Structure 1
Amino acid sequence: MKRTGVIGLGDMGSGLAKNLIQNGFETTGLDLSKDRMDAFVAMGGKPATNIAEVAKASDAVYVMVMNGDQAKAVILGPDGLVENMTEGGVVVLTATIKPSEARQIGEAMAETGIHLIDAPVSGGFPGAQGGTLTMMAAGSSAILDEYALVMEAVSKTIHRVGSNAGDGQTVKSCLQSLIGSIFSATFEASALAAKAGVSGDVLFKVFSTSGAGCGVSNTALENIIDRQFEGTGSHIATMHKDLTICLDLAKELGVPMHTASTAMQIFHAGKTKYPNGDNWVCTRVIEDIIGAELHR
Structure 2
Amino acid sequence: MSSVNPVTVIGIGIGNMGGAMAANLLSRGWAVQVCDIDPVKVADLEGKGASALSVPAQAAINSVAFIVCVVDAAQTDAVLFGADGLARMLQPGHTVVLCPTIAPQDVEAFAARLAALGVHTVDAPMSGGPARARDGSMSLMVACPPAVYDEQADLLQALSAKVFRISHQAGDGARTKLVNNLLAGINLVGAAEVLALAGRLGLDPGRTLDVIEQSSGQSWIGSDRMRRAIAGDYAPRAHVTLLEKDTRLAVEAARAAGFEGPLGSRASEVFAQAHRAGLAELDDAAIFKYLADR
TM score, norm. by length of structure 2: 0.94
Residue 103 of structure 2 is aligned to residue 98 of structure 1: yes
Q: Deviations over 1:174-230 (max 9, x none)?
A: 111111000000010011000001112211211111122231221122112111112
Residue 289 of structure 2 is aligned to residue 284 of structure 1: yes
For 1:76 and 1:144, locate their aligned partners in 2 and report how far apart those are by CA, in whole Å: 24
1:13 to 11, 18, 29: 18
For 2:235 and 2:276, locate their aligned partners in 1 and report how far apart those are by CA, in whole Å: 15
Counterpart position of 2:251 = 247
Q: Is the 8 A contact 2:96 2:119 kept in 1?
A: yes
Counterpart position of 1:131 = 136
Partner SS, residue 142 of structure 2:
strand
Q: Is the 8 A contact 2:122 2:144 kept in 1?
A: yes
For 1:166 and 1:143, locate their aligned partners in 2 and report how far apart those are by CA, in whole Å: 15
Structure 1 unaligned regions, length at least 5 = 290-296
1:264 to 260, 264, 268: 268
Counterpart position of 2:67 = 62
For 1:286 and 1:4, locate their aligned partners in 2 and report how far apart those are by CA, in whole Å: 43
Q: Is the 8 A contact 1:5 1:57 kept in 2?
A: no
Give the counterpart letter for 2:30 in structure 1.
F
Q: Deviations over 1:212-257 (max 9, x none)?
A: 22312211221121111123x1211111110111011112111103
Counterpart position of 1:80 = 85
For 1:212 and 1:75, locate their aligned partners in 2 and report how far apart those are by CA, in whole Å: 42
Partner SS, residue 100 of structure 2:
coil
1:140-219 to structure 2, matched below 5 A, reads 140-219=145-224
Identity score, percent? 26
More divergent stretch after superposition (27-36 vs 127-136): 127-136
TM score, norm. by length of structure 1: 0.93
2:239 to 223, 235, 243: 235
Give the counterpart letter for 1:187 in structure 2.
A
Partner SS, residue 270 of structure 2:
helix
Q: Is the 8 A contact 2:8 2:60 kept in 1?
A: no
For 1:130 and 1:236, locate their aligned partners in 2 and report how far apart those are by CA, in whole Å: 24
For 1:161 and 1:205, locate their aligned partners in 2 and report how far apart those are by CA, in whole Å: 35
Residue 60 of structure 2 is aligned to residue 30 of structure 1: no
For 2:25 and 2:74, locate their aligned partners in 1 and report how far apart those are by CA, in whole Å: 26
Q: How many residues align?
A: 288
Compute the RMSD of aligned alpha carbons.
Answer: 1.4
More divergent stretch after superposition (130-139 vs 78-87): 78-87
For 1:37 and 1:135, locate their aligned partners in 2 and report how far apart those are by CA, in whole Å: 24
Q: Is the 8 A contact 2:11 2:32 kept in 1?
A: yes
Partner SS, residue 161 of structure 2:
strand
Q: How far is 1:55 from its partner?
A: 5.2
Q: How far is 1:21 from its partner?
A: 0.9
Q: How far is 1:56 from its partner?
A: 2.7
Q: Is the 8 A contact 1:59 1:85 kept in 2?
A: no
Structure 2 unaligned regions, length at least 5 = none
